């Protein structure tokens, strides 16, 4: 086979933001018909580089060649006209419109000459061709995140893009959806498209990419290497600039007293449908209970009822023997419950407030932070400075608004706030989602430290590897019920239980 030619060449790209050099003289090539994996830590400059290629940012220096011809873009529209389209992490669909309407929307000459139903058919045909299953007449709000992603892909295909750039497409997907997406990507490549696939997950990039490039702190540390010629360890090293041991040391520990006990807890989701059904669980001091499950099986609601953010329709939740069910959210906090929420930007932090304000959010009512009825700003600032160091939060200053922080640093702000108070119970929801390998290792270490100093931890994660690495005991949740508790640490059993493939007899499951 002849060496494939470069479809896209980026040369010497420089892109600055106030105080940050996001891309420092970056070269990047994309060949025709390849899937090119782009790896890098949080803040490495991946999204920036690809936003330059997609016409969203103008670089300060550098050139872009498409099929050998120098180009320059004033908007994403210009890039799409040349066949380059990007799907961002945050989707841009209109909830109240149908799939077809969303796809037609924003086209230069909206083709209203034909009936909408004609377009529905055309969408269905394109969808079928690439294995993108979604109903053209469905409204966006009715779709799961995975389905919405398919709409975004369809939208780009309908605009005739040859190059599809996907920014961390798997971070919002459940394991089976990831498989579906990979099938679509492969079928797109077979039909002549080229893809840039951004991810933090080494195993994903290793399995889907034809070639891999790595960025670190705005610079290229590997350009177009073949997966077969590298390893997870080497890639991790290229990403973070040091060795990452994929094994975390976990000391054996005898669990102590029961800290959290759920008895027959039921609750509804936001739509008023049953989300939890008679859940029973116990977590002891010095123990990590890993709760495995595919997203959307009641985990979110479970975290919320324990932390007082959602009402229970039945049952009892005891923290150190005291009832917390259906009590105000400050009650669990007073009983020593810490919470790492799933949604970091909305529930976990106040985006426009500073690091200082975010880290003191839970403790400002008490001395030494409270001075009478007002806040002692000096103490607050000192506390924030100290936590910034201790938790290695990388930011210009403690006055920086947290919306400017990268994913990994934002998660550290939450950890600093939640863990510095020495909680007796920690509810950790998807604590490493969206983080790079270096950051994941840091967060996992912190969780183990908490366990070793006696905290009870409920760890909710979709990452089986994480569940197996950290947990002392594993339970599985499926459709709002605990379908396995204390199950043998075997990936296969847990995987089956997660997908409803093997329910344990009731007596065993709730014992
Ligand atoms: N619009 C912006 N304004 C100011 N700074 C920005 C902006 N976008 C990115 N940055 C900064 O540029 C650097 C690179 O960010 P970028 O989003 O490209 O990283 P990334 O590799 O995509 O990270 P992640 O994996 O967290 O998505 C970071 O330091 C980030 O804080
Ligand atoms: Mg990014």
Summarised one tens digit per residue, pLDDT across range 393-439 is 888 899 999 988 877 788 889 999 998 888 999 999 999 887 778 78
Mean of per-residue pLDDT scores for the chain:
87
Model pLDDT for residues 114-155, shown as the tens digit of each residue: 677 888 888 899 999 999 989 999 999 888 888 999 999 999
- Judged against a pLDDT cut of 90, whether residue 314 lies above it is answered with yes
Report residues whose beta carbon is within 6 angstroms of any ligand 1 atom: 17, 20, 22, 40, 42-48, 406-407
- Judged against a pLDDT cut of 90, whether residue 505 lies above it is answered with no
Ligand 1, atom 6, lies closest to the CA of: 17
CA of 32 to the centre of ligand 2 (A): 24
| 14, 16, 20: residue to mutate for ligand 1 pocket, most atoms within 8 A of CB | 20
- Judged against a pLDDT cut of 70, whether residue 84 lies above it is answered with yes
- Judged against a pLDDT cut of 80, whether residue 447 lies above it is answered with yes
| 19, 45, 169, 216: residue to mutate for ligand 1 pocket, most atoms within 8 A of CB | 45
Q: pLDDT grade, residue 506 (50/70/90)? A: very low
By C-alpha distance, which of 472, 476, 461 is closest to 509? 476
CATH assignment, 258-336+423-510: 3.40.50.300
- Average pLDDT, integer, range 363-392: 83
Closest ligand to Cα 16:
1
Ligand 1, atom 12, lies closest to the CA of: 22
Of 5-19, 245-259, 397-411, least confident by mean pLDDT is: 245-259
The pLDDT value recorded for residue 50 is 97
**Count of CB atoms situated within 10 Å of the CB of 153:** 25
The pLDDT value recorded for residue 485 is 77
Of 225-229, 252-256, 488-492, least confident by mean pLDDT is: 488-492
- Judged against a pLDDT cut of 70, whether residue 2 lies above it is answered with no
Pick the atom of ligand 1 nearest to 404's CA.
31
* Percent share of the chain, pLDDT over 70: 92
- Judged against a pLDDT cut of 80, whether residue 242 lies above it is answered with no
Q: How many Å is the maximal CA-CA distance in the chain?
A: 77
Model pLDDT for residues 189-229, shown as the tens digit of each residue: 999 999 999 987 888 899 999 999 999 999 999 999 999 99
CA of 435 to the centre of ligand 2 (A): 10
CA of 35 to the centre of ligand 2 (A): 18
- Give, to the nearest 10 degrees, the angle between helix 407-419 and helix 437-452: 10
Residue partners of 65: CB distance under 8 A and separation at least 6: 6, 8, 9, 11, 71
Residues of the chain with CATH 3.40.50.300: 6-240, 258-336+423-510
- Judged against a pLDDT cut of 80, whether residue 363 lies above it is answered with no
Model pTM above 0.75: no
The pLDDT value recorded for residue 137 is 93
* Percent share of the chain, pLDDT over 90: 54
Q: Per the structure block, which two tokens stand in for 416?
A: 């600093």
- Average pLDDT, integer, range 244-254: 74
CATH assignment, 6-240: 3.40.50.300
Query: Which residue has tokens 């807890």?
Result: 265
Of 177-191, 246-260, 415-429, 446-460, least confident by mean pLDDT is: 246-260
- Average pLDDT, integer, range 293-310: 90
Closest ligand to Cα 88:
2
Residue partners of 477: CB distance under 8 A and separation at least 6: 279, 291, 292, 293, 297, 298, 299, 302, 483
Of 19-23, 164-168, 343-347, least confident by mean pLDDT is: 343-347
Distance of alpha carbon 299 from the chain centroid: 15
Q: pLDDT grade, residue 42 (50/70/90)? A: confident
Q: Per the structure block, which two tokens stand in for 8?
A: 């896209």
| 22, 51, 58: residue to mutate for ligand 1 pocket, most atoms within 8 A of CB | 22
- Average pLDDT, integer, range 250-266: 92
Residue partners of 414: CB distance under 8 A and separation at least 6: 340, 341, 344, 348, 349, 358
Q: Per the structure block, which two tokens stand in for 326?
A: 């259906």
Q: pLDDT grade, residue 296 (50/70/90)? A: confident
CA of 59 to the centre of ligand 2 (A): 17
CA of 449 to the centre of ligand 2 (A): 29
The pLDDT value recorded for residue 245 is 60
Query: What does DSSP say about strands 481-485 and 163-167: parallel, antiparallel, or unpaired?
Result: unpaired
**Is-contact 46 201, C-beta < 8 A?**
no
């Amino acid at each position: 086979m002849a060496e494939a030619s470069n479809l896209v060449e980026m040369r010497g790209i420089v892109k600055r933001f106030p105080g940050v050099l996001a891309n420092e003289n970056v070269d990047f090539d994309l060949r025709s018909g390849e899937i090119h994996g782009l790896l890098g830590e949080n803040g490495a400059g991946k999204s920036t580089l690809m936003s330059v290629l997609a016409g969203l940012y103008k670089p300060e220096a550098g050139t872009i060649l498409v099929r050998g011809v120098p180009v320059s873009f004033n908007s994403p529209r210009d890039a799409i006209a040349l066949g380059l389209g990007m799907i961002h992490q945050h989707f841009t669909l209109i909830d109240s419109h149908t799939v077809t309407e969303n796809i037609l929307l924003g086209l230069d000459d909206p083709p209203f000459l034909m009936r909408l139903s004609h377009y529905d058919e055309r969408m269905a045909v394109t969808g079928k061709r690439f294995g993108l299953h979604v109903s053209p007449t469905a409204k966006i709000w009715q779709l799961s995140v995975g389905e919405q992603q398919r709409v975004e892909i369809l939208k780009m295909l309908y605009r005739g893009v040859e190059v599809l750039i996907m920014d961390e497409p798997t971070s919002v997907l459940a394991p089976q959806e990831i498989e579906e997406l990979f099938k679509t990507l492969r079928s797109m490549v077979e039909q002549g498209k080229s893809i840039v696939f951004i991810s933090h997950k080494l195993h994903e990039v290793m399995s889907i990419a034809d070639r891999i490039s790595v960025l670190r702190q705005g610079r290229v540390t590997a350009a177009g290497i073949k997966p077969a010629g590298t390893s997870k360890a080497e890639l991790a090293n290229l990403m973070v600039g040091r060795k990452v041991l994929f094994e975390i040391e976990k000391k054996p520990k005898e669990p102590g007293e029961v800290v959290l006990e759920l008895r027959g807890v039921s609750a509804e989701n936001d739509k008023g449908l049953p989300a939890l059904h008679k859940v029973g669980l116990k977590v002891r001091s010095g123990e990590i209970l890993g709760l495995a499950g595919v997203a959307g099986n009641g985990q979110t609601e479970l975290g919320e009822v324990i932390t007082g953010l959602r009402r229970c329709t039945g049952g009892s939740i005891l923290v150190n023997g005291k009832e917390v069910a259906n009590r105000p959210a400050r009650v669990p906090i007073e009983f020593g419950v810490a919470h790492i929420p799933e949604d970091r930007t909305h529930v976990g932090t106040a985006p426009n407030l500073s690091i200082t304000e975010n880290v003191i959010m839970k403790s400002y009512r008490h001395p030494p932070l409270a001075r009478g009825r007002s806040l002692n700003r000096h103490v607050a600032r000192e506390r924030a400075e100290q936590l910034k160091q201790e938790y290695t939060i990388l930011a210009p200053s403690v006055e920086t608004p947290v919306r400017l922080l990268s994913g990994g640093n934002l998660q550290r702000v939450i950890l600093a706030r939640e863990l510095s108070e020495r909680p007796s119970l920690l509810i950790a929801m998807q604590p490493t989602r969206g983080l790079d390998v270096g950051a994941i290792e840091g967060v996992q270490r912190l969780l183990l430290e908490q366990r070793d100093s006696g905290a009870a931890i409920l760890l909710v994660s979709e990452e089986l590897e994480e569940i197996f690495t950290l947990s002392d005991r594993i339970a599985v949740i499926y459709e709002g019920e605990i379908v396995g508790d204390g199950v043998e640490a075997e990936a296969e059993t847990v995987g089956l239980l997660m997908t409803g493939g093997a329910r344990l007899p009731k007596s065993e499951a709730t014992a």
